[in-house]
Amino acid sequence: MKWKWIIGLVIIVFIIGFVAGFYYGVNTKSSKEKLPEGNMQGTVTQIIDGDTLVVDGTTIRLALVDAPERGEVGFIEATKFAASVCPVGSIAYVDVDDGQPRDNYGRTVALVYCGGKNLNAELWKNGYAQIDERFLSVSEFNPHSW
């Protein structure tokens, strides 16, 4: 009689552990973690140009920096530099700009970190982008801290 009670208890503990493990596994993803509202972590899937990339299907426009566009001098260099800091396949942390979460084209505006480096700041510090002063008054970020 005592053995039946112990076996029953073991079965119940096993079932609870299984359900908890299943729930935890379904609600977490290896490349994403719970982050502050509006922020994300994901895989870089495309580098569009020096100041625009795609992370898990979301197009990100880097906040407060302006790199040369296609056809402009420095475009290739800025794009290659961005790809060297945040290569396709790397994990990126995206800190969405609360002051302007989207631009006129519907892209998410954010700071992007790869390998612990702030891509926005690295582009500016290395001469591949300029500070875009048009948005200083609305952005939550301060490029002077870079």
CA distances in angstroms from 97 to 107, 110, 139, listed in the order given? 11, 5, 6
Predicted pLDDT at 38 = 72
Domain membership of residue 21 as a residue range: 1-30
Does a structural domain hold residue 135?
A: yes
Residue 3 shares a structural domain with residue 47? no
Q: What is the pLDDT of residue 31?
A: 41
Q: Which has more pLDDT, 128 or 10?
A: 128
In a domain, 62, yes or no: yes
pLDDT tens track for 20-73: 554 444 444 444 444 556 799 999 999 999 999 999 999 999 999 999 999 999
At 80-133, the pLDDT tens digits run 999 999 999 999 999 999 999 999 999 999 999 999 999 999 999 999 999 999
Amino acid in the structure at residue 61 = R
Residue among 25, 53, 58 at smallest CA distance from 39: 58
Q: Residue 62 contacts by C-beta under 8 Å, 6 or more apart in sequence?
A: 51, 52, 53, 109, 110, 111, 112, 119, 120, 123, 129
| Residues 89, 69 share a domain | yes
Residues 57, 103: one domain?
yes
Pick from 106, 88, 98, 101: nearest CA to 44: 88
Alpha carbon distance 139, 131 (integer Å): 12
Q: Are residues 124 and 62 in the same domain?
A: yes
Same domain, 44 and 26: no
Residues 80 and 62 occupy one common structural domain: yes
Report d(CA 140, CA 63) in Å as an integer. Answer: 10
Total domains in the fold of the chain: 2
User: Is the per-residue pLDDT at 19 higher than 70?
Assistant: no
